Amino acid sequence: MNPLLEIRNIETYYDLIYAIRGASLAVDEGSITAILGTNGAGKSTILKTLMGLIEDQPDKGEILFDGRRIDGRDTEAIVRGGIAYVPEGREVFEELSVRENLLLGAFTRKDRDGIRRDVQRVLDYFPVLAERSHQWAGTLSGGEQQMLAIGRALMNRPRLLCLDEPSLGLAPLLVQEIFHIIRQINAEGVTILLVEQNARMALAIAHRGLILENGRFVLAGSAADLLQDPNVQEFYLGVRSTASAKGYQRWKRKRRWR
């Protein structure tokens, strides 16, 4: 079976910065795939390239969604094709009500009744939002805003949902709740591509994981394998830091895949 999303050897320039240096990735339908990496590794850039948000990029390579080329197309067309995106830092429309935020999420759809049903569905899904459906989104707490951002993306009825660091700036309990929701959305048949720094949480729900460093994928495998990998454990999960002969912790031992 063909993967739902296939990225083939893309290279992306951010102005003059060579951000993605030949990355390939396949996301199977129905799976949760996590992209892990440190700050500046290029995780968000991959998603932005995928969504067509960086002008004239990718510079090289192909992106296929459901077997069709989508690289170089307008964001509008990509969204219409069934990919939804939750931007980093839960960007809600602050001076629009919760309900209006959701309606904007369904902007590419035309079926009024379906949209009305889906607003209700999302509000049922997130009862906190239902209580505040007429409030300005800017008055919500961070966790509620993240839920709204996810709910808004679901309004597009996506086949693929891309999330950029949904755990950013949230308390641990809230992070757990958000990840629980992501898993639930996946169980309902939505394929998920997740970009995260919180490797432990991401690998706990993902089927597959990829490690990105300096614009290249350096390691890929099933989530279980990655959790067992000693390098991943040391650099991304923070366990088993080996002590030197003198008993100091050796932070500098970091292995580079270059």
Partner 1 sequence: MIPAYYHTIMTFTCINILLSLSIGVLAGYAGQVSLGHAAFMAIGAYASAMLTVTFKVSFWLAMPAAALVSAMVGLLLGVIALRLKEDFLAITTMGLNFIVIGVLLYAPYFGKALGIGDIPVPMLFGEEMGRGMYTALCLALVAGVVAAVWWLQRSWIGLAWRGIREAQDVAQVMGVNIAKFKIFAFVISTAIAGIAGSLYAHFLLFITPYDFGFPLSIQILTLAVLGGLGAIRGPVLGAILLTILPEYLRFIQDYRMLTYGLLLVLVMMYQPQGLFGHKSFLTEGLKRLFGGEEKIRGRAA
* Residue placing its CB nearer to partner 1 in the complex, 42 or 87: 87
Among 2, 40, 95, 250, binds partner 1 (CB under 8 A): 95
| 108 makes contact with partner 1 (CB under 8 A) | yes
Query: Taking contact as CB under 8 A, which single stretch among the options 20-28, 29-37, 105-113, 250-258 is the one that binds partner 1?
Result: 105-113
- Only one residue has tokens 């959305």, namely 185
On whether the CB atoms of residues 51 and 103 are closer than 8 A, the answer is no
| 105 makes contact with partner 1 (CB under 8 A) | yes
- Only one residue has tokens 């755990």, namely 167
Among 49, 145, 146, 156, binds partner 1 (CB under 8 A): 156
Q: Which strand ranges, in their side-by-side order, compose the sheet holding 83-86?
A: 83-86, 160-164, 191-196, 32-36, 208-213, 216-222
Query: Taking contact as CB under 8 A, which single stretch among the options 37-45, 64-72, 96-104, 227-235 is the one that binds partner 1?
Result: 96-104
* Residue placing its CB nearer to partner 1 in the complex, 37 or 87: 87
Query: Taking contact as CB under 8 A, which single stretch among the options 14-22, 37-45, 61-69, 84-92 is the one that binds partner 1?
Result: 84-92
Among 20, 36, 46, 103, binds partner 1 (CB under 8 A): 103
| 154 makes contact with partner 1 (CB under 8 A) | no
141's tokens: 């707490």
Write the interaction track for partner 1 spanning residues 236-255; mark x where CB under 8 A is met and - where it is not: --------------------
- Only one residue has tokens 């932070």, namely 251
189's tokens: 């048949």
- Only one residue has tokens 């968000």, namely 44
Residues across the chain: 258
On whether the CB atoms of residues 10 and 60 are closer than 8 A, the answer is yes
95's tokens: 């001076």
**CB crowding 97-109: b at 16 or more within 10 Å, else e:** bbbebbbebbeee
Q: Could you say which residues in the range 157-196 bind partner 1, by CB under 8 A?
A: none
| 58 makes contact with partner 1 (CB under 8 A) | no
List of residues contacting partner 1 (CB under 8 A): 51, 53, 74-76, 79-80, 85, 87, 91-96, 100, 103-105, 107-108, 131, 134, 152, 156
